[in-house]
Structure 1
């Protein structure tokens, strides 16, 4: 089987840690079928432009990573408010340049623009298309503009299968209006060779932290939509515990005692930070899945998360706690409860829980089964 995997989330030299969960999935699939990957990068038509648009200028046209040829065709980018509804056409032109050598099936990540361009390309070549919805492409962007919603629904209903990474996301896609979409739930996967239990004190010393302190780690964008403000308010109710915020600071927050803004860290060092803590927290208002949660569990650390969509598929009382979003008191109580009962959460059992449900190889096998069903069992027309 020859798979063409497409996503603007794939990493490139300008953003080496971008969408690593998509790339790890591609690498896992490589052991089961022939994989070629395409990670289009934006191209701004003027030499002078904002850094966020021009930084891709020196990304190579092709690179080989971990045995996979990864192409980086260019597509024209303009400010979203001007041209986001047209991006799929520019994206399609970039993908069309990658139509050779032949492939049997396209798997695109993100419904728009990746998925829409892939569906049009697949139809023109008579190849089936699978599209994965990850979260914002269902829960956020379609509600910004009516046309974006129309394009998202059009794509979902014409893909041969749509993969939703959580049960809540599947339900939200139907609620969006994509009633004819053939949706299956396949979660993202975590690599147990990268995320595994490590000694807390050793991890702390490696990071220059004082061993023996109680620590909670948050990994993600530091912004209000991720519940960071609620988390900081919750920590005002806790004593004897430190909070480490790891990620890009989108919105500024005042410094508080016991709260440390670490900033972005290389992907390879995230397991070290998780290993140095007692608990990982995800306080979001909306989550398509919850990649940080399965990474933490695979590292043998319990989690506290909000009932924000994806976490309900991941977190049960045997691995942590769920609380309503936007409730700092409930969040503080849950963190305090889990920290007070750490003996209940054995690292090896948490790792086994994560790998048994979300192990990367297991997810890749489920996707291969889906590809075979689409190729040999018939797709969806219309």
Structure 2
């Protein structure tokens, strides 16, 4: 089967850590003998400071099966409104059409297009699919989906139009799928979780023995990730267990956390490591005891599953997605936006850590989220979409 993958975001040479969660999705699509070609219209591209000729904006090959074209855009606070975003979608679809024609000329007509995130990739793919009589599947990852659906003047209209065309629409967690259904924009056909590279995220737990209870969390730290809730929770148990917290990710509003970060009796237990390579994440997971999701809202949480694959249990807030991806054998969930509940949850995990053997944590991921497991789900999704297209 020939699959054209259209990601809304993808790592680039200039930003190699950006959206690297998409890479396992592409690899999973390539399983079962499928030929996968990536068509990436880069809406995150920046124009160089120095003058450039037209060649900068032309399509190019990143690899033999990866076509790329930049689409620099100006920041606009009104961008995700129906009026402004319609112009963005027209330009995006035009550039995607250009990549599609190049790919079709070289590899032939695809059996299916799989887009990741409704806007702009899903919408653009739906238009291209309709023009060329190709079935389209969309996987939704975007945290702001519900906000876009909430107000008539935002971009939910385009999602609804996309939904009339595509042959399959999926979310990355059962919880997120339920929340999308509640918006009424379109019907979700099921969940397609993030695949985890279990050969990379290995169970090599506790390479370094320690009396410290090592906690780790990841993401762009701030309000959405509930960084304030996590820090407040740990301050409540500061003298009850010997904990240490490692945070990976950007901290754009560090001043908002000065209450904790400037406290000498607290900040010496915190490591702010910024954005790092996956190899460094694996090493930290191997020497940690607990992964924490303290978010206010999530669509899934890839890092949580990667940590489980490395053998460490998790605690997550009930923020609409991560709690639907685990069971009580690999971790616990607590109410969202409740520092006291999170603090008690951390204590509970610290006092019962022996109930979560590393090999069982990994086994859960292998059975539910490995590349092989997700690729088998994709095979069913692709076959269903192709058959649905034939009946229309």
Same structural fold, with TM-score higher than 0.5 when normalized by the shorter chain: yes
Alpha-carbon distance, 1:323 to partner: 0.5
Question: Does 1:121 find its partner at 2:128?
Answer: yes
Distance in 2 (alpha carbons) for counterparts of 1:356 and 1:144:
40
Aligned to 2:384: 373
Structure 2 equivalent of residue 79 of structure 1: 75
1:172 aligns with 2:183: no
1:69 to 54, 65, 69: 65
Q: Distance in 2 between matches of 1:42 and 1:144?
A: 24
Contiguous gaps of at least 5 residues in structure 2: 51-55
> Which secondary structure state, in structure 1, belongs to the residue aligned with residue 134 of structure 2?
coil
For these two proteins, the number of residue pairs brought into alignment is 363
Q: Distance in 2 between matches of 1:342 and 1:148?
A: 45
Match of 2:248 among 246, 249, 266: 246
Q: 1:43 to 1:296 in 2, by over 3 A?
A: closer
Tell me the alpha carbon deviations over residues 118-152 of structure 1, each in whole angstroms, 9 at most, x when there is no partner.
10010011111000111325233334662311112
| Distance verdict in 2 for CA 1:316–1:46, change over 3 Å | closer
Distance in 1 (CA, whole Å) between partners of 2:374 and 2:204 is 24
Q: Alpha-carbon deviation of 1:58?
A: 9.8
**By how many angstroms is 1:31 displaced?**
2.9
Q: What's the C-alpha RMSD, in Å, of the aligned pairs? A: 2.3
| TM-score w.r.t. length of structure 2 | 0.86
How do 1:214-225 residues align onto structure 2 when only pairs under 5 Å count? 214-225=213-224
Name the counterpart of 1:38.
39
| Large movers: runs of 4+ above 4 Å | 43-49, 57-60
Q: For residue 277 of structure 1, what is the aligned residue in structure 2?
A: 288
Asked if the contact 2:156–2:185 (Cα under 8 Å) also holds between the matched residues in 1, the reply is no
The alpha carbon displacement at 1:310 in A equals 1.3
- Cα separation, 1, equivalents of 2:41 and 2:284: 31
Following the alignment from structure 2 to structure 1, what is the Cα–Cα distance between the partners of residues 26 and 292? 28
**Matched ranges for 1:1-382 at <5 A:** 1-32=1-32, 33-42=34-43, 48=49, 61-64=60-63, 69-80=65-76, 81-82=78-79, 83-99=84-100, 100-101=103-104, 102-143=109-150, 146-179=153-186, 181=187, 183-202=189-208, 211-238=210-237, 239-252=241-254, 253-254=257-258, 255=261, 256=263, 257=266, 258-378=269-389
Task: Indicate conservation of the 8 Å contact 1:279/1:304, yes or no.
Answer: yes
What is the Cα deviation at residue 20 of structure 1?
2.1
